[in-house]
Amino acid sequence: MLELPEVEVLRKDLEKEVVGKKVKDVTVQTTSVVRPYHRNRPEFIKALEGRKVEAARRRGSVIFLDLDDEMTWVIDAGANGSLHRETATESLGDDTHLAVSFTIGGAIHLSEASEEPEISTGVVPTTEALEAAGISTDALDLLDDNPTWMEFGHFLAAADKPLRLLLIDPTYIVGIGPIYSDEILWEAGLRHDHPSSTLSTQEVRRLYRATQEVILAAMKAAGSSLDEAEAEAAIDEDGEVAEHLKVYGRDGLPCLRCRRTVVRTRIKKGIYTYHCEQCMI
């Protein structure tokens, strides 16, 4: 499962591996992955083949590869997709929905183990890329925007929402999902239902510090996201939780801070949180 930390590692890898290269061949195995942006496969292929990748950007959990002629290749791997490096001659696996090779060697594959993948990709004018990807220009990216703790405090007060719901709401904050929202709140010692507008100055500073520490630690643990042999997402294909996670997925186990049992609580339909009732207030 990819959230902001893993996607930032992926962006850095793409910056090293594909920036400066020209797209040679494009193979679309599943039409639905390009449908949000294009009418059909040939339209997407025509828009991407022969283009040179000039820069690799990220906003939230969406990758933007800027191309020549002021166009941008948008890649959204969703919650369960992966983007990985292959040789140009590597055959496509059953879960590979898109393969792109380059003129000076190498290829990247966009995969998801589903017949109805959530991944999406397309080529759009650079000026329209954020809007095309459905990303609010007003939403906060905790890594890219790098607000001061005081700016963060004003943002929290204005939002006036329960902390867990605020952290995963893409109209307010982009790139943070169920995993790192729980990790951030555990690190800060704050409950999921604590109103963002009632935080004390000390609590704002704890939460601010926790966002930075959790994101950076997760990036360090992620390894190389383009190499499947080295990549380590927070949740693997078998649903196993990575060692660097302190609370997410650990229901029934002792809290690593106070040793009380971690619990899983339903916030609303389809939304659950992992937390410690003893040391998160």
Q: Are 14 and 77 in contact (CB under 8 A)?
A: no
pLDDT digits (tens, 9 = 90+) for 146-175: 999 999 999 999 999 999 999 999 999 999
Domain boundary, last residue among 132, 161, 176: 132
Say which CATH number the domain at 34 has. Answer: 3.20.190.10
Res. 143: pLDDT tops 50:
yes
Task: Give the pLDDT confidence score for residue 97 in this predicted structure.
Answer: 95
pLDDT digits (tens, 9 = 90+) for 46-86: 999 999 999 999 999 999 999 999 999 999 998 888 888 88
Co-location of 116 and 192 in the same domain: no
Answer yes or no: is 28 within a domain.
yes
Co-location of 77 and 177 in the same domain: no
* Domain span at 210: 149-275
Domain boundary, last residue among 107, 132, 157: 132
Q: Are 226 and 17 in contact (CB under 8 A)?
A: yes
For residue 188 the two structure tokens come to: 């800060």
Looking at per-residue confidence, does 230 or 171 come out higher? Answer: 171
Co-location of 159 and 115 in the same domain: no
Answer yes or no: is 101 within a domain.
yes
pLDDT digits (tens, 9 = 90+) for 191-207: 999 999 999 999 999 99
Looking at per-residue confidence, does 106 or 155 come out higher? Answer: 155
Question: Angle 198-202-204 (CA atoms, 0-180°, nearest 5)?
Answer: 55
Answer yes or no: is 60 within a domain.
yes
Q: What's the total number of domains in the chain?
A: 2
End-to-end CA distance of the chain: 28
Write out the DSSP string of 44-98.
Answer: HHHHHTTPBEEEEEEETTEEEEEEGGGEEEEEE-TTT-EEEEE-TTPPPPTTEEE
Q: Quote the pTM value.
A: 0.90
Answer yes or no: is 144 within a domain.
no
